[in-house]
Amino acid sequence: MKVWIKLLIGTALGVCLGILLPENQNINDALDWLEQLVIRIGRYAVIPVLVFSLTIAVYELKQDKKFWSLIIKNFFLMIGLSIVIITAGVLLAFLFTRTRIENITITEAEKLLNVEGYITDIFPANMFQALVGDGVYLLPVFMLSIFFAIGLSYDKNFCKPVIALVDSLSRIFYHIASFFIELFGFLVIVLACFWTMRFREILQAGIFSNLMIVLSIITGILILGLLPLLLLFIKPKINPWMVLFASIGPAFAAFFSGDINFSLPLLMRHAKENLGSRRRGNTVSLTLFCIFCRAGSAMVSAVSLIVILKSYSSLGITTTDVISICASALLVSFMLARHPGDGAYTALTVLCLNYEDPIIRASYLHLKPMLFFLIAIGALLDVMLAAFANYALSHTSGLMDEKKPAHFI
């Protein structure tokens, strides 16, 4: 059975369970624990796959003299896509936002970003510490793989056995990750069930209906409209709907897990086996996008802030405010590498803390009941951005072997 069909069936079963199960604290606690276990299982093979696949990918790209050109293309595309997605989301928010959020609660706010620590942790005191982390922060792993690949390039004859070993380990751990991916149809039952139960609760409250509708409309416009148009602009005469169809599996995983690291192995497998993106291209591009390009999460935070300001600011929102929100969201989007599972909420926290008004500063705390929804939308957009960008980069870099939809996994 195809992976996306397994995920669709698992999602349907999970949603049905979430609707039928009674509201009970013991059930919620059990599902909360199961969700954490499922996320851990999904992340289980991420680090080994990345270490060896990135190493051999960087080595092969350097041999083909394509490494730096691909890196430069990635960063230019990240910046361009981030600007377009965040700006489009904020502008669309003004079109669809109508009502206010009420009953705000003011409590002490916290700063969640530690930029100095993030930079320091890129280079741990011991290089091998990058391999024994918690699987959350992937940038040290990326840097380790680059230096490992550079080391393999200095003497081909001397390093040939090691290169063969790294290539073999890359393929072995890819197949181990594929085994866990086959279990995702079962794992998503838990995720969809818990997501549905929380969604049911906030629907009953009715406070956040407008924000949920706004975010859903914007997400649909971006995924079904703007991303296909951007892909056609980057690479004309291709079928963007094929990319959408090929990315259904990662989209399900990202939405219900809310965790981009959980979705990364599935995204890599779909990029290779559905879209035909070669290992040396998709491993580098997808990893970079999952680390740095969190424009979807940043856009969700910016739209949420627009709704908050419309609700509680008596001065209105000026053009300067809009530019400031977009610029701040853009900057924060590149700093969420340590937050694969709560990117949208972390970004919203940082944006709110930029304001002096105590009500606005603490307003992100009022959105905690719909935290899971913000994170789900942000993760979905992040994964779809990575999928579309990788497809475009693989095409423009000559790292693509086209697959027919009939052969999709």
Q: pLDDT at position 387, please?
A: 93
At 388, list the tokens.
């579309």
| Residues contacting residue 314 through CB under 8 Å, at least 6 positions apart | none
Q: Can you say how many angstroms the Cα of residue 243 is from the centroid of all Cα atoms in its chain?
A: 17
Our CA dihedral for 66, 68, 74, 77, rounded to 10 degrees, sits at -100
Quick: pLDDT tens for 64-110: 888 999 999 999 999 999 999 999 999 988 887 665 565 544 444 45
Please, what is the Cα angle at 369 between 331 and 334, to 5 degrees? Answer: 15
Q: How far apart are CA 296 and CA 333, in angstroms?
A: 8
Q: How many domains does the structure of the chain reveal?
A: 1
C-alpha pair distances (Å), 253 with each of 86, 181, 381: 23, 10, 12
Q: Which domain holds residue 28?
A: 3-407
Quick: pLDDT tens for 170-191: 999 999 999 999 999 999 999 9
The mean of the pLDDT values for the chain is 87
With tokens 């290539």, the residue in question is 167
C-alpha closest to that of 145 among 111, 115, 171, 122: 122
With tokens 């490494």, the residue in question is 67
Q: What are phi and psi of 277, to 5 degrees?
A: -75, 125
| Residues contacting residue 140 through CB under 8 Å, at least 6 positions apart | 121, 122, 123, 124, 129, 130, 133
Q: What percent of the chain has pLDDT over 90?
A: 49
Beta bridge partners of 284: none
CATH assignment at residue 172: 1.10.3860.10
Q: pLDDT at position 106, please?
A: 47
In the predicted model, is pLDDT for residue 111 greater than 60? no
C-alpha pair distances (Å), 138 with each of 48, 128, 160: 11, 13, 27
Q: How far apart are CA 187 and CA 42, in angstroms?
A: 9
